[in-house]
């Protein structure tokens, strides 16, 4: 899930959100698909992405897709983590395909912590509540529904449209369907470009639309282990060599270090837009930093905003610590996990080198498996950006659209590694807190879901010709 990081400081344009009826026949069929998908548990612990993929496959088959254009995939070691590729052939063989990407798996959810059953779709107060209501089953349901509607309308797009529904996006150590497709079946997902989660829109607390964003690039997520080992001994006779203290010194060095400012075409456009919308002193600091990335004073002001800071640079932060073996013994071992979000173009190895320098010679620093590919920023391609703006002006009049780079990570990074640029589309407006994604009582506004469905359907038709 990569909707984190595009909040903009300062005043923004706002427009009232009109009501949308949910009584069209096609909306009811979409809701049935969406509800079935949400209520199918796809957590890694007890759920099954394979079941969810087969349910969608059955709906696509009922819409008229032949089995030859519906390809289920999994591996014997992970039978419940399968996915689906569906294909709607285009009429122009010279036109490269486009790919619709979404993940079926969801973050774990404990019933005792939720106000409602997380795997029962509940409508309440203008929201749909459930785990996966927004991340990422809203996107998966919209893409599957789009493929169904196109087939039912006997659409003959110029370019072939592919749909890939995968598993494993939410858990680092899980078998990842998008990675497997990219490595072992790149023919199934070969495309000129891919459309993914990660973009969207922001609402204010009253439900008014504020901003649309197109994700154009993302960071690479990578974990590193810091480890210190000592002989230990009796705690009644402490020595200077203490694994906990030495680890703490290394982590404090990481905390104090600020990676240098970097810009891509996307983040330069993003911060230029942010400067025009921000009050002073942020506006002036952004303008100076864009002109001179080494301006320390401007950097200090801009980086005071945590979203801006993470969009400017690689970030690394300690997330887990384990140390010691007894309360009355000197620690023999202390370890920590440091989670880094690596700026596009920077490498896992280069970041490892910097962390080793910071940690010093008493700490062993290693890159954890799996090692993710280097993030490659897509181009700000007018063929992608302009249709999104044009159709948004029809569906969401008066709302500005900006490109941004996600500080989170999606499965798009695996496709980018094989030369497929990936864009996170705008359209689905969420609340300022991210609508509870990954947290308790995840939700999506009912109106926003149906509005995004209509917008994305029109946008896919435009891209497909």
CA-CA distance, 2 to 218, in Å (whole number)? 8
List, for the chain, all residue ranges whose pLDDT scores fall below the cut of 70.
1-22
Specify if 142 maps to a domain. Answer: yes
Q: Are residues 368 and 383 in the same domain?
A: no
Q: Are residues 204 and 279 in the same domain?
A: no
Contacts of 240 (CB under 8 A, 6+ apart): none
* CATH code for the domain in which residue 354 is found: 3.30.70.360
CA-CA distance, 360 to 365, in Å (whole number)? 9
CA-CA distance, 10 to 278, in Å (whole number)? 4
Closest CA to 404 of 202, 258, 257: 202
Specify if 15 maps to a domain. Answer: no
Q: Are residues 275 and 253 in the same domain?
A: no
Contacts of 126 (CB under 8 A, 6+ apart): 445, 446, 447
Specify if 191 maps to a domain. Answer: yes
**Structural contact between residues 432 and 121, judged by C-beta atoms closer than 8 angstroms:** no
Q: Are residues 302 and 355 in the same domain?
A: no
pLDDT confidence of residue 346: 97
Specify if 362 maps to a domain. Answer: yes
Q: Are residues 206 and 150 in the same domain?
A: yes
Q: Are residues 385 and 406 in the same domain?
A: yes
Q: Are residues 275 and 131 in the same domain?
A: no
**Structural contact between residues 170 and 1, judged by C-beta atoms closer than 8 angstroms:** yes
Specify if 6 maps to a domain. Answer: no
pLDDT confidence of residue 434: 84
The residue from 350, 374, 398 where one domain ends is 374
Q: Are residues 40 and 128 in the same domain?
A: yes
pLDDT confidence of residue 261: 98
pLDDT confidence of residue 188: 98
* CATH code for the domain in which residue 204 is found: 3.40.630.10
pLDDT confidence of residue 173: 86
Specify if 424 maps to a domain. Answer: yes
Specify if 17 maps to a domain. Answer: no
Q: Are residues 362 and 301 in the same domain?
A: no
pLDDT confidence of residue 24: 86
**Domain count of the chain?**
3
Q: Are residues 152 and 38 in the same domain?
A: yes
Task: State pTM to two decimals.
Answer: 0.90
The residue from 374, 390, 416 where one domain ends is 374
Please give the residue range of the domain that contains residue 447.
25-218+375-464
Q: Are residues 175 and 280 in the same domain?
A: no
Q: Are residues 255 and 267 in the same domain?
A: no
pLDDT confidence of residue 164: 98
């Amino acid at each position: 899930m990569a909707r984190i990081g595009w909040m903009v400081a300062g005043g923004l344009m706002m427009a009232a959100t009109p009501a949308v009826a949910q009584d069209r026949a096609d909306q009811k069929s979409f809701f049935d698909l969406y509800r079935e998908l949400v209520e199918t548990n796809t957590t890694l612990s007890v759920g099954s992405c394979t079941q969810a993929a087969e349910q969608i496959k059955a709906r696509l088959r009922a819409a008229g897709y032949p089995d030859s254009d519906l390809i289920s995939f999994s591996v014997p070691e992970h039978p419940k983590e399968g996915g689906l590729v569906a294909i709607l052939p285009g009429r122009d063989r010279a036109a490269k395909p486009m790919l619709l990407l979404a993940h079926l798996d969801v973050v774990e959810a404990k019933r005792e912590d939720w106000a409602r059953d997380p795997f029962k779709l509940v409508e309440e107060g203008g929201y749909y509540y459930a785990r996966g209501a927004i991340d990422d089953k809203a996107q998966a349901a919209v893409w599957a529904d789009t493929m169904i509607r196109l087939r039912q309308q006997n659409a003959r797009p110029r370019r072939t449209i592919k749909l890939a529904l995968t598993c494993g996006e939410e858990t680092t150590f899980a078998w990842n369907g998008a990675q497997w497709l990219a490595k072992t079946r790149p023919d199934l997902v070969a495309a000129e470009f891919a459309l993914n989660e990660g973009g969207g829109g922001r609402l204010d607390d009253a439900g008014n639309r504020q901003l649309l964003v197109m994700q154009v690039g993302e960071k690479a997520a990578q974990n590193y282990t810091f480890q210190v080992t000592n002989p230990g001994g009796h705690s009644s006779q402490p020595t200077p060599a203490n694994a906990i203290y030495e680890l703490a010194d290394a982590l404090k060095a990481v905390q104090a270090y600020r990676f240098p400012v970097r810009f891509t075409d996307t983040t330069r456009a993003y911060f230029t837009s942010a400067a025009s919308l921000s009050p002073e002193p942020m506006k002036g600091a952004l303008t100076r930093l864009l002109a001179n990335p080494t301006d320390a004073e401007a950097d200090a002001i801009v980086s005071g905003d945590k979203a801006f800071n993470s969009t400017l640079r690689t970030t690394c932060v300690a997330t887990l610590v384990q140390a010691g073996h007894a309360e009355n013994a000197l620690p023999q071992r202390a370890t920590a996990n440091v989670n880094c979000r690596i700026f596009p173009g920077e490498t896992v190895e280069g970041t490892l080198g910097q962390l080793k320098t910071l940690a010093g010679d008493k700490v062993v620093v290693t890159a954890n498996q799996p090692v993710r590919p280097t993030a490659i920023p897509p181009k700000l391609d007018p063929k992608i950006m302009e249709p999104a703006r044009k159709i948004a002006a029809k569906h969401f009049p008066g709302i500005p659209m900006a490109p941004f780079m996600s500080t989170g990570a999606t499965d798009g990074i695996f496709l980018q590694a094989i030369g497929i640029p990936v864009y996170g589309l705008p359209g689905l407006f969420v609340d300022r807190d991210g609508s509870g994604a990954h947290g308790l009582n995840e939700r999506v506004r009912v109106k926003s879901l149906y509005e995004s469905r209509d917008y994305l359907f029109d946008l896919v038709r435009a891209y497909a010709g």
